[in-house]
Amino acid sequence: VLDRSNYHGFWPLLYQVATAGLEPESIAYPIRAILRHYPNVDFQLAEVHNINFKHKKVLTDGEAVPYDYLVLAAGSTNSFFGNDNLATYTYGLKDLDEAVKLRNRILVSFEMASRESDPAKKAALLTFVIVGGGPTGVELAGAFSELIVHVLRKDYHNLDTMQARVILIEASPNLLATFPENLQHTAYKQLEKMGIEIQLKTAVANVSNNVVTLKGGEEIAAATVIWAAGVQASPLATQLQRPLGRQGRVPVTPTLNLEDYPEVFVIGDMAYLEGYKNKQAYPMVAQVAIQMGKQAAANIVANIEQQPLQPFKYKDKGTMATIGRKAAVMDAYGIKLSGLLAWVSWLFVHLVYLIGFRNRLIVLANWAYNYFTYDRGTRLISGRKGEW
Ligand SMILES: Cc1cc2nc3c(=O)[nH]c(=O)nc-3n(C[C@H](O)[C@H](O)[C@H](O)COP(=O)(O)OP(=O)(O)OC[C@H]3O[C@@H](n4cnc5c(N)ncnc54)[C@H](O)[C@@H]3O)c2cc1C
């Protein structure tokens, strides 16, 4: 196993790190600890730069690593659709570093606002724009609102925190595009009730220092803009210099390998394979990645044993998103739920999939603490001025 990080990250809880609900360490687990019980598995901390398919070598920042079979699973990254301004002036939420950076930014904005005398600058510091109304944008908006209402309002006595605005901008006519219509509506109503300003059918044209410009020309003064509107495959996919599918993903055969190099498998967010609901590409979600991982492993074993490879068959377990305290939406196993029951199911599922007993314990303790005290323990600004 080669990875540029020495940990496995559980990204569905990343937004809670960004909103000071969880420590970064509680949603990550060392890869070596996960693999400890497999004596025939080795780990190397290495950044992969490219693959030499002909000579079967993985090119890294260290020595090249030879292979008989290769599985590429380098995930995805933010997509700014070629707009450098978006990359420069918005905050992403794709890994632990970005989550901590965003947490710092939110807390610094409140600190700066509390000492700012110019009303316009103060208003911009207290305006948080989230671009993208998918699960990440919705979950972040809800958590943001709760952080402001339940926690920061109590911390900043001299600041009119009622001025703080969370604006959620979505280009399509609905939030949570992949959810059934009634759940989309429920999520909208719930967020609205929490004071979030939702702008649907609204596209962002540009973002510069402290200003969001909408396609219609309207401008919003905001010091913090979060980009949750686009993802694309890891840059490693581009490095391979092969034709790519939508979102820069690597097209694979139904058995998850490359047509011209069948010993190479590509899985998870990086892979492009159609077959999901009416021939769409399989979505970039954890269940697809996990199930593809299992199928690729089975196919490698089958190949070694000279058995036929099996095509990938996806078992859709459904989807869920949390909005806030006792509020979530869920569409799983044919059951469509919202409210308390969906929220409890969300908590349960995320605890189960989180790796490591210690992490589960810490996350559960944090959730209980946050729930009963309406507080968030990790409101620390790390680093120095210039790093935020
Ligand atoms: C904020 C957020 C929330 C999400 N919420 C949900 C959710 O609620 N439900 C859901 O199903 N899915 C969710 N997802 C999506 C889900 O996390 C991904 O679909 C899943 O992690 C994809 O798995 P993967 O193995 O393909 O990639 P990843 O889990 O991203 O793993 C890729 C690994 O490759 C490593 N890597 C990348 N490039 C290199 C390189 N060049 N060299 C060496 N190592 C490299 C990375 O360090 C990383 O460890 C969310 C994602 C994000 C970002």
- The pLDDT tens digits for 42-67 are 999 999 999 999 999 999 999 999 99
Distance 284 CA to ligand 1 centre (A): 9
Residue 19 alpha carbon to ligand 1 centre in Å: 20
Which residues of the chain are modeled with pLDDT < 70? none
**Residue pair 122/221 in contact by the 8 Å Cβ criterion:** no
> Do 76 and 270 form a contact (C-beta atoms < 8 A)?
yes
Give the residue whose CA is nearest to atom 21 of ligand 1: 286
Residue 252 DSSP SS3: coil
Q: What is the pLDDT of residue 334?
A: 86
Q: Has 139 been annotated as catalytic?
A: yes
Q: pLDDT (tens digit, 9 = 90+) per residue, 338-379?
A: 999 999 999 999 999 999 989 999 999 999 999 999 888 789
Is any atom of ligand 1 closer than 6 Å to the C-beta of 289? yes
Residue 234 near ligand 1, beta carbon < 6 Å = yes
Which of 10, 77, 285, 352 to probe ligand 1 with, by most ligand atoms within 8 A of CB? 285
Task: Say how many Å lie between the CA of residue 240 and the centre of ligand 1.
Answer: 19
What percentage of the chain's residues is helix, strand, coil (to nearest 5)? 40, 25, 40
Backbone angles phi, psi at 59, to 5 degrees: -95, 120
End-to-end CA distance of the chain: 33
Cα–Cα nearest to 147, from 28, 24, 18: 18
Whether the CB of 226 sits within 6 Å of ligand 1: no
Strand 211-214, strand 204-208: pairing: antiparallel
How far, in Å, from the CA of 233 to the mean position of ligand 1? Answer: 10
Task: Return left, alpha or beta for 210; rule: phi > 0 is left, psi -120 to 50 is alpha, else beta.
Answer: left
pLDDT (0 to 100) of residue 214: 97
Q: Phi/psi of residue 241, each to 5°?
A: 55, 55
C-alpha span between 14 and 86 (Å, rounded): 21
Find residue 328's DSSP bridge partners.
Answer: 322
Q: Of 23, 18, 42, which Cα lies nearest the Cα of 31?
A: 42
Nearest CA to ligand 1 atom 44: 3
Question: Do residues 225 and 67 lie in contact, with contact meaning Cβ atoms separated by under 8 Å?
Answer: no
> Which residue owns the Cα nearest ligand 1 atom 5?
12
The pLDDT value given to residue 207 = 96
Spot the catalytic one: 139, 146, 181, 219. Answer: 139
HSE-up (13 A, CA, CB side) for residue 21: 26
Nearest atom, ligand 1, residue 60 CA: 42
Secondary structure class of 307 (helix, strand, coil): coil
Alpha-carbon distance of 147 to 333, in angstroms, equals: 32
